[in-house]
Amino acid sequence: MLPMRNTISQSLKIFFSPETIAPFLIGSLCLAILGGAVYDMLKNSFGATTPDLVRIAIITLMILLFAIGVVSWIIAQRLARIPLNIPFQVKQKQLNQQYRGLILLVSRSEACEVAIRFHLPRLQRCWLVCSTQTLELAQQVRQQFPMVCVDQPIVINDVYQPLEVYVRLREIYRDRLPDGWQDADVIADYTGMTAHASVGVVLACVGTPRPLQYTPAKLDAQGRAIGSLSPIRILLRQEKRS
- Interval 60-110: pLDDT, tens: 788 878 878 777 777 666 655 555 454 555 566 778 899 999 999 998 888
pLDDT at 25: 72
Q: Lowest mean pLDDT: which of 17-21, 143-147, 163-167?
A: 17-21
pLDDT at 201 over 90: yes
Percent over 90 (pLDDT), the chain: 40
Q: pLDDT band for position 52 (50/70/90)?
A: confident
Average confidence (pLDDT) over 35-59: 77
Q: Classify 105 as helix, strand or coil.
A: strand
Confidence label for 120 from pLDDT (cuts 50, 70 and 90): very high
pLDDT digit string, tens, across residues 153-169: 999 999 898 999 999 99
State the chain's mean pLDDT as an integer.
81
Are the beta carbons of 217 and 228 closer than 8 angstroms? yes
DSSP symbols for 113-182: HHHHHHHTTT--EEEEEEESSSHHHHHHHHHHSTTT--SPPEEES-TT-HHHHHHHHHHIIIIISPTT--
Taking residues 127-133, report their average pLDDT.
94
Report whether pLDDT(214) > 90. no
241 pLDDT more than 70: no
Please report which confidence band the pLDDT of residue 118 belongs to, taking 50, 70 and 90 as the band edges.
very high
3-26 average pLDDT score: 59
Band the pLDDT of 152: cuts 50, 70, 90: very high
Predicted pLDDT of residue 84 = 46
Does residue 242 register a pLDDT over 60? no
Distant-in-sequence, close-in-space partners of 239: CB < 8 Å, separation ≥ 6: 86, 87, 88, 89
**Overall average pLDDT of the 218-240 stretch:** 74
Cβ-contact 216, 229 below 8 angstroms: yes
pTM confidence score: 0.60
> Could you give the domains of the chain?
4-81 (no CATH), 88-238 (3.40.50)
Query: pLDDT-based confidence at 1, cuts 50/70/90?
Result: very low
> 232-238 and 212-214 as β-strands: parallel, antiparallel, unpaired?
antiparallel
